[in-house]
Structure 1
Amino acid sequence: MADFKTALEALAKGNLDVEVLAGQLTSLLDKTPQYANRMLSQLDEMYDQKSINDQDYAKLKSQINQYRRAHASETEAGAEASADSTVFAQEDNVQEPVAPTAGVDDATQVLEGGPQANDTPEVSGFDVTGASDMSGIDVDLSALHDPSITTGTGPAETAWSDPSTQAPQSETTLGPGSIIKQRFKLISVLGIGGMGKVYKGLDLLKEEARDKKPYCAIKLLNEDFKDHPEAFISLQRESSRQQKLAHPNIATIYDFDRIAGPGTPVYITMELMEGMELKDFIKKTVKKQGGLPFDEAFPMIKQLVDALAYAHDKRLVHSDLKPGNAFLCNDGTVKILDFGIARAVKNPVTGETEKTLFDPGQLGALTPAYASYEMLEGEEPDTRDDTYALGCMCYELLTGKHPFNKLPANKAKENNLKPPMVKGLRKKQNCALQRAIAFERKDRSPTVEHFLAEFEDRYIWYKSPLTIAAILVVAIGLGGT
């Protein structure tokens, strides 16, 4: 008795003819169409391991895809589909048993189940001559747990096990080389944070289409979502909102999904950026210099403000702005990451002020060192919360130090702390910086644009009533002459 993967292994070793397997495949799909996607996954896995040649792979994949298209209502139902998972179209270009285009890696693999712990393949259970009547072969996708499906009347009483019984892989078993949703291939680890690991990924669909930019960043979130389904719902909502943000200083979110069905790890795909987190830039460069000159820091600050102003205009508050959520690209572009997403995430590490903390009961996240006093008190989010975090980041860029030495705002307020003035700044600029990090919302700059104007020491003439009145007087006078 052999399962489907064992049959594929027999094909790879030359012990089974592809035409025979194709005939058995038709019988299998007719009996249990709901497992078409799972079988496609196993086929892709074998091909990705270079165990099956191009011609056999293309033939079998074309057969499964054609069946899926003709019986979509059956093949996309059941265990393979879920309300919170994205169904990707399979490679429609594979229609004939021909080798894929050279140089295009359309090999795909889903990590919905690892290899089964089977014994040595029982290739003797298959008729390798191709002379048998394939319609007489019984195929069992229930892993022999449902004897009513298997009658055992085939030429060799052949039965195939149900791929759905294979346990889905967890976050810890994913890594470079793994493929998610038969589309995204993990290439290498870019970083590890409170939300999980970030990988450089290859979008196989874009690569097949010969897109000039087939790479992306893939954030594989940690296991907390399995224990807190509310967090998944909140994250999905916030991710959808961020997908609508289109700004050069905000990292673009492409997709949000689970790697398989309910209970499997969650991942987010976003634009791939080359450079370093602002946190690392401050640590490696700014601190060593004792802070950046205003002319060097201001372009970065302005880009942060531009991104926040754009988001605030759409009534979206970041709520966890910090150097670790800003990225400095090699070309000097600064991009903010994780708008609202961090609020749905729990970090198991507690007690560290630079780590994102999550209260699963409140679905809120914050980083104590950059959280406003009101956030720490549990008040509703406000755009001026981001202003406080922005002020702390500006202070770090200019001095290399956090204004309150990473002490949370509530503790700093209790101790009546006030950071020293920044050397090299004019009085108005220092006042603007002090106002941004005020403990009370009412004392902070009303908007990030207002902060920037004061911080740049720029006179906003069109907002001054006296200036406007003077201009009107002059205009009237000129009009009367």
Structure 2
Amino acid sequence: MTSSSTTPSSAQSSAQGLPVRRIGRFYLTDKLGKGSNGAVFLGHDPVIDRAVAIKILGTSHGIADKKQREQQFINEARAAGRLSHQNIVTIFDASSEGGTTFIAMEFLQGKDLRELLASGKRFDSIETANIIHKIAEALAYAHDNGVIHRDIKPANIFILPNKQPKVVDFGIARAPNRILMNPDNPEQTLFNNNILGTPNYMSPEQAMGQQVNHLTDVFSLGAVMYEMLTQQKPFQSNDLDKLLNQIAHKQAKPPSELNPNVSVSLSNIVSKAMQKNPADRYASAAEMAHALQKVLERDQRLKRKRKQGGKDSSDVGNDDKPSISWISWLALIAAIGLVAAYSLK
């Protein structure tokens, strides 16, 4: 996925550095990027005459588990292909041909959240609530259809030019029973107990190699929201064991303590989503989405009220923080006047 507006070339065009020029019915034109699970290319679907993104499964993890990885890649991609939601990337095809395993998906214009955060993009509280709310609704839809993402992180949240988010790499998060970690890149995806996750955003149950359910996505989404609100990850360490131990046992500081502009209500939503015990989190992504919806609705009410009263709306999103009304100020001034008058007697 890229912000480039590159258009697919004709079937006769060559593509330097591509593993194949054609895969299935799709023609590859440009390389868009590379992740821990494979590379993504810009492709062209000649049947429908549209641009597509082609993700090709990598083979760097060895030949021994190649068939298992291929089967899991295809099975999970097909599971995700059943999903049809405006905030989930659409998958068109998944297959294995000539030793190459791939999925063809919707080509998106924009940038992923990881790129935006790394470039210095700052999201205010309401922007963050809007984005996370839509992702929570998308996850709720996926969970209702039996698909758990297992690797929610900024790199898997794509932001379109109209600021609409799309969850990508849906349901491809499965791998063999072992840990593969690049010590030079602590954010590299980690394989553990048939669960694929990124260490900084994975749930405690993932970190401890336990069985997971849909609530692992709730925790990871809370971790993403935490970073958007505070500009820092909730758990950080260059040592993998220490990082996993933090995730499993350390409670992150509330976002409102790190950023005074974050409302208590939003900070509480993050904290609840990131509870160590899954039973203490929101019972579902839908419940988390509902909590965010209440914050957004209150924000809209305050904006309308301030607009009607001609008040400054610069503190939108911090409505649950204490304030002193004009009546309180008058009472305080009167009290000071009485004290002053009494002292002059």
TM-score normalized with structure 2 length: 0.72
Name the structure, 1 or 2, with higher relative contact order (CA <8 Å, separation 6+): 2
**Residues paired across the two proteins, number:** 279
Q: Tell me, yes or no, if structure 1 residue 203 matches structure 2 residue 36.
A: no
Deviation at 1:349, TM superposition (A): 4.6
1:448: which partner in 2?
A: 285
Q: Tell me, yes or no, if structure 1 residue 241 matches structure 2 residue 79.
A: yes
Q: State whether residues 219 and 268 of structure 1, in contact with CA within 8 Å, keep that contact through their aligned partners in structure 2.
A: yes
1:144: which partner in 2?
A: none
TM-score normalized with structure 1 length: 0.53
Tell me which stretches of 4 or more aligned residues in structure 1 moved more than 6 Å. none
> Which of 211, 214, 218 is the aligned partner of 1:380?
211
Which letter does structure 2 place at the counterpart of 1:198? V
Instruction: Provide structure 1 residue ranges, at least 5 long, that are not aligned to the other structure.
Output: 1-103, 110-172, 208-213, 461-481
- Change in 2 beyond 3 A, CA 1:258/1:413: closer
Matches within 5 A, 1:139-158: none
2:147: which partner in 1?
A: 316
- Change in 2 beyond 3 A, CA 1:387/1:408: farther
Q: Tell me, yes or no, if structure 1 residue 259 matches structure 2 residue 97.
A: yes
> Which of 90, 110, 114 is the aligned partner of 1:279?
114
- C-alpha RMSD of the superposition: 2.9
- Change in 2 beyond 3 A, CA 1:326/1:458: closer
> Which of 331, 354, 357 is the aligned partner of 2:187?
354
Deviation at 1:439, TM superposition (A): 1.5
Matches within 5 A, 1:4-403: 175=18, 178-181=21-24, 183-207=25-49, 214-223=50-59, 224=61, 226-228=63-65, 229-260=67-98, 264-286=99-121, 291-344=122-175, 349-351=181-183, 352-359=185-192, 362-403=193-234
How far apart, CA to CA, are the structure 1 residues paired with 2:96 and 2:36?
18
Deviation at 1:459, TM superposition (A): 11
Deviation at 1:176, TM superposition (A): 7.9
Matches within 5 A, 1:465-480: none
- Change in 2 beyond 3 A, CA 1:347/1:239: farther
Q: State whether residues 305 and 448 of structure 1, in contact with CA within 8 Å, keep that contact through their aligned partners in structure 2.
A: yes
Higher strand share: 2
- Change in 2 beyond 3 A, CA 1:347/1:324: farther
- Change in 2 beyond 3 A, CA 1:442/1:252: same
Deviation at 1:107, TM superposition (A): 5.5
Deviation at 1:105, TM superposition (A): 5.0
Which letter does structure 1 place at the counterpart of 2:58? N
How far apart, CA to CA, are the structure 2 residues paired with 1:197 and 1:280?
17
How far apart, CA to CA, are the structure 2 residues paired with 1:416 and 1:399?
15
Equivalent pairs: percent with the same residue? 28
Which letter does structure 2 place at the counterpart of 1:230? Q
How far apart, CA to CA, are the structure 2 residues paired with 1:272 and 1:178?
18
How far apart, CA to CA, are the structure 2 residues paired with 1:199 and 1:347?
27
- Change in 2 beyond 3 A, CA 1:348/1:458: closer
How far apart, CA to CA, are the structure 2 residues paired with 1:381 and 1:232?
22
Deviation at 1:433, TM superposition (A): 1.3
How far apart, CA to CA, are the structure 1 residues paired with 2:229 and 2:253?
16
Larger Rg: 1
How far apart, CA to CA, are the structure 2 residues paired with 1:347 and 1:174?
30
Which letter does structure 2 place at the counterpart of 1:273? L
Q: State whether residues 309 and 449 of structure 1, in contact with CA within 8 Å, keep that contact through their aligned partners in structure 2.
A: yes
SS in 2 for 1:256: strand
